[in-house]
Amino acid sequence: MPSPTSRLRWLRAKLYSVRNGTGAAILPPNISRIALSFNYKSNNGHMGPRKFFRECLPRLKYHNPEVDMTVTRKDALEGPATLTIHFTNTPIEQELQLKKKQPTTPTIRETISTIDIDMLNRYPDDIMEELVTKTKATLYSEPPRPQELEEEAEYLAAKRQNELKEKYKLQRADRRKGKDDQLKGAILA
Amino acid sequence: MASSISICRACLTRPSTLVGRTPRLLRPTSDIHRLLPTTSTVPSLIFTSGFSTTPSLPAGGGAINRAKMKSSKLKQTKKKKPKTHFKIWNHAELPKYALTEAMRYIRAFEVGNDVRQAKYDLAVKIYTQKNGPAVKSRIQLPKAVNTDIRICVFADGKKADAAREAGAVVVGTKDVWEQIKEGIINFDRVICASDVFQEFQKTGLGRVLGPKGLMPSPRTGTVVTNPATIISAMIGASDYRERQGVVRIAIGQLGFSPDELRDNIKVFMDQLAKDLARIEDFDKRINEVVLSSTNSPAFSLSGEFRNIGREEDLDITPEVIEGAVAAEEAPVAAVL
């Protein structure tokens, strides 16, 4: 098992990128499911959908754990690439009760209507924009860190920089000394 | 600088050529003069070494010193004691995650993958010696992870029929062993009836089955008088063993709810603690519990089910719904 420090250093960055970025939006509760359908190969305009799936969908899933997200991919080289949004009429109050009892449990909800978004030949940002307008989702932004934490982080960063400075100074001195020694040795020889 | 070093290297490798060339090197415009301290003993030394065949300092002095340094370094490294324990780290100050929080992240990383194929994976780091007994056992989780295990039974006669009825895929003795020798292994577990076991040992299949962890042995409970009885228990069970100081086990399918996963983890950890306690004379302790999945990063678990300290941050659902209701009333604002 790798050491915890090496694991957590990049984990923190990874988690931040899952919480923020294009795709970080909170969908309204009347959406039960989002289904993507596109090809394995990126020929004929299927690159955008793939990027959307890889970059935006994890963020969307993180902010909407209850929404079912399915991806079906085909072996074909051509064909449509669509994103289907399924709407339900499950009342909000019942939803709340369900959540209190069993959070993040997928509950089966009937779909009453669907909306299709054509993803062919489009960039992920573009697809996301249309998704947000059509679903009336609210964009998520990370709340700012409290003042204390900010100050502490600054202090730690400054401390770290000073430590590095001294370390490099010593290293440089060592290197210079080593070179001088080498030179002396050479001349003596 | 670089030119001077190249000269030095040349000197070290070919000292005889240097003797002839010294006057040229020591011209006032050469690099060496600039690099050396102006008034020191070094220039005089250069002259002595350059012009006398038996100088006060030996010609290869530097090299010898270096060799001495190397040997002394080697001695220092030899003094280090070999490590008896697997390395463990102090992770007290590093962030830990509650189960639901970790699950939420993992579900996000695993989006679009098959819920049945992807598995939650639990790794338990143990403080333990490198040699000595290792933990190896089997557990029946409250909700089974692998429901499609293929079992092979070495038995004949009535026992073979009983095993086939109980759900074994491959049943037999000599014909099966020959198949295994040819390399046809289409099963995940092996059970051996105790009356065939001696005969089986003579075949020397340990070389084939051993590395795959399939070798039946009385110690692991895979050599039984009546194989049919343990098949049903085996189908829903999962094996685990300690490797390199870590016990790893698939603890659940990705579709499991937090409650189901919590129960599985609880039962597993209880049994593991008992296993560790059972090994006497060896100090074995649980150091860290890490949850990950097939395609997600690993999360160090804090032991809590839900994050108590930061519940307001996590449980955003009521606010979200209010926000969504407001958004429906004023869609323009929501878009922005």
ipTM of the shown complex: 0.76
Half-sphere exposure of B239 (CA within 13 A, CB side): 15
Confidence of residue B44 (pLDDT cuts 50, 70, 90): very low
Q: Where are the domains of chain A?
A: 11-139, 146-189
Stated as kind and residue range, the H or E segment containing B189 is: strand B189-193
Which of B48, B79, B110 represents a domain boundary (last residue)?
B79
Q: How confident is the model at residue B203 (pLDDT cuts 50, 70, 90)?
A: confident
- Residue B141 sits in the same domain as residue B280: yes
Q: B318: nearest CA in chain A?
A: A96
Does one domain contain both B296 and B313?
Answer: no
B90 occurs within a structural domain: no
Task: Tell me which of B95-99, B228-232, B302-306 is least confident.
Answer: B228-232
Query: Closest Cα partner for B301 from B120, B110, B150?
Result: B120
CATH code for the domain of B273? 3.40.50.790
Q: Which domain holds residue B269?
A: 99-307
Q: Which residue of B has its CA nearest to A15?
A: B105
Surface-to-core class of residue A185, CB atoms within 10 Å of its CB (0-12 exposed, 13-18 middle, 19+ buried)? middle
Chain B residues touching residue A5 (CB < 8 angstroms) = 89, 94
pLDDT > 90? residue A164: yes
Give the span between the Cα atoms of B222 and B218, in whole angstroms.
6
Same domain? For B319 and B296 the reply is no
Within a domain: B85: no
Which CATH class name applies to A11-139?
alpha beta
Query: Do B112 and A71 count as a contact with CB atoms less than 8 A apart?
Result: yes
- In this prediction, residue B21 has a pLDDT band, given cuts at 50, 70 and 90, of very low
Tokens of A94: 């019942």
pLDDT band at B84, cuts 50/70/90? confident
Residue-level pLDDT at B52: 43
| Other CB atoms within 10 Å distance of the CB of residue B10 | 15
Backbone φ/ψ region at A98: left (φ over 0), alpha (ψ -120 to 50), beta: alpha
Residues B241 and B103 in one domain: yes
**Full strand arrangement of the beta sheet holding A113-118:** A68-74, A31-39, A82-87, A113-118
Please give the C-alpha separations between residue A43 and each of A40, A51, A53, B263, in angstroms, as whole numbers: 9, 13, 16, 46
Contacts of A182 in chain B (CB under 8 A): 5, 8
B334 to chain A: which residues are within 8 Å by CB?
136-138
Mean pLDDT estimate for chain B: 69
Q: Is there a single domain that holds both residue B115 and residue B194?
A: yes
Question: Per-residue pLDDT tens for B223-237?
Answer: 777 767 777 677 777
* pLDDT of the residue at B25: 42
Contacts of B319 (CB under 8 A, 6+ apart): none
Same structural domain, B318 and B303: no
**A36-55 pLDDT, tens digit each:** 999 998 888 899 999 999 99
Instruction: Please tell me chain A's helix, strand, coil percentages from 3-state DSSP, rounded to the nearest 5.
Output: 50, 15, 30
A76-85, A88-97, A178-187: least confident range: A88-97
Confidence of residue B35 (pLDDT cuts 50, 70, 90): very low
Q: Is the pTM of this model over 0.90?
A: no
User: B22, B46, B79 — which closes off a domain?
Assistant: B79
Interface touch A138/B298, C-beta < 8 Å: no
Q: For residue B16, what is the nearest residue in chain A, using CA coordinates?
A: A189
User: Which of B126, B125, B187, B124 is CA-nearest to residue B153?
Assistant: B187
When divided into structural domains, chain B yields a total of 3
Distance set, CA A82 to CA A30, A57, A86, A117 (Å): 20, 14, 13, 6
Rounded Cα gap, residues B166 and B191, in angstroms: 13
CA dihedral B19, B20, B22, B25 (to 10 degrees): -140
- Report helix, strand or coil for B111: coil
Which has more pLDDT, B200 or B285? Answer: B285
Q: Which residue has the higher pLDDT, A174 or B179?
A: A174
Q: Do both B201 and B270 map to the same domain?
A: yes
Q: Is residue B86 part of a domain?
A: no
